[in-house]
Amino acid sequence: MALTFAATPRTRPDVAIRAGGRRGRAVRRNLTGWGFAGPATLIVVGLSLFPAVWAFFISRTKWNGIAPATDVGWRNYQRIAQDPDAMAAAQHTLVLTVLFVPASILLGMLIAVALNQKIRLIGFYRTCIFVPYVASAAATGILASYVFNPQFGAANEVLRRLGLPAQQFLESPSQALLVICVIALWGEVGFTTVIYLAALQDIPQDLVEAATVDGAGKWRVFRHIILPELRPVTVFTAIWQTIIAMQLFDLIYTTTRGGPMNSTQTVVYYIYELAFQTQRLGYGAAVAYLLFAVTMLLTIGVIWYSRRRGSEAF
């Protein structure tokens, strides 16, 4: 019987040299990339990750920022459920989120559909819609406080000219939170509009034209073709706007400062009062971490539900 041995090819020296040269170039490219990205990465980690970890340790202490901290374990977290101010702030945040998120999504979608038409000066209209979003939220709040001033505000002047009674707006405990929601919508609808406008322009026109040829009207085309194509974008905007609503602070700080009668005191503003006005840093950090946990759970829940429905946005 003849035995056949497979010859093991020897690596040629020039091939090994070229392979080593490619690996060396890859290493140099990686080092060059990290040389540019490394400082920025260190800054981001130093300004976000480290303070977050440090705040967690603070949340387990009783500390006023000056005297030595006293370890209290999980007592700060247990106190939150028994704090009526924290419960009221959570209720205000929930109401604001329920009002703001669906309204911003619906208005953004409708305005995007309107701005997706071929009309004159369309670029000007799109710019006007987006300008409030890029404006400073603090400046928006200061301007809105003048617009909704009960004595000399433009909103009451319009109501007077229409023969309607003047309103207290930001000075009314029953109206202030709704007015805050309107102001936030004015500033944030531009973002959702741009997102939906980009998604609308990415929808294949073949589908729309085929449905139109088959006799589908505008409403049926919008319901059965455009809306399903917009589901991933809707998931993204819902998550984004929920985070915006739950972390709203600058508008409240520049308009009502949580008033009147704490009717607009949200969780974030309550954290600000705990940490920087009453110097209860440990308890404020605990409330902040609870807000982070709730926001994270809501985000994960929305993503999980959207993936089960086949609308993956992430």
Could you report the per-residue pLDDT of 170-183, keeping only the tens digit for each?
999 999 999 999 99
Check whether 116 has a pLDDT greater than 70.
yes
DSSP string covering 38-99: HHHHHHHIIIIIHHHHHHHHHTTEE--SSSPPEE-TTHHHHHHTT-HHHHHHHHHHHHHHHH
DSSP string covering 199-240: HHHTS-HHHHHHHHHTT--HHHHIIIIIHHHTHHHHHHHHHH
Q: Are 141 and 249 in contact (CB under 8 A)?
A: no
| pLDDT band at 1; cut points 50, 70, 90 | very low
| pLDDT band at 14; cut points 50, 70, 90 | low
pLDDT of residue 27: 80
Find the mean pLDDT for residues 217-235: 84
pLDDT of residue 312: 62
Check whether 8 has a pLDDT greater than 60.
no
Check whether 88 has a pLDDT greater than 60.
yes
Find the mean pLDDT for residues 100-115: 93
pLDDT of residue 227: 86
pLDDT of residue 5: 45
| pLDDT band at 109; cut points 50, 70, 90 | very high
Radius of gyration over every alpha carbon of the chain, rounded to an integer in angstroms? 28
What percent of the chain is modeled with pLDDT above 70? 91
93-130 burial, b if ≥16 CB within 10 A, otherwise e? beebbebbbebbbebbbebbbebbeeeeeeeeebeebb
Check whether 86 has a pLDDT greater than 90.
yes
Q: How far is CA 25 from CA 14, 22, 36, 218, 292, in A?
A: 16, 5, 17, 57, 43
Tokens for 180, please give them: 């805050």
Residue 70's beta-bridge partner residues? 62
| pLDDT band at 15; cut points 50, 70, 90 | low
Range scoring the smallest mean pLDDT among 5-9, 229-233, 281-285 = 5-9
What is the rounded distance in angstroms from the CA atom of residue 105 to the CA atom of residue 238? 7
What is the rounded distance in angstroms from the CA atom of residue 211 to the CA atom of residue 215? 7
Could you report the per-residue pLDDT of 227-252, keeping only the tens digit for each?
888 888 998 999 999 999 999 999 99
Q: Are 248 and 115 in contact (CB under 8 A)?
A: no
How does the average pLDDT of the chain come out, rounded?
Answer: 86
Exposed / middle / buried, residue 148 (Cβ in 10 Å: 0-12, 13-18, 19+): buried
Residue 271 backbone dihedrals phi, psi, to 5 degrees: -60, -40
What is the rounded distance in angstroms from the CA atom of residue 213 to the CA atom of residue 56? 60
pTM: 0.82
| pLDDT band at 51; cut points 50, 70, 90 | confident
pLDDT of residue 311: 62
241 torsion bin: left (phi>0), alpha (psi -120 to 50), beta (else): alpha
Q: Tally helices (H) and strands (E) across the chain.
A: 15, 2
What is the rounded distance in angstroms from the CA atom of residue 229 to the CA atom of residue 222? 10
Task: Please enumerate in sequence order all residues whose Cβ is within 8 A of that of 281, keeping only pairs 6 or more positions apart, or say none.
Answer: 58, 63, 64, 65, 274, 275
Check whether 26 has a pLDDT greater than 80.
no
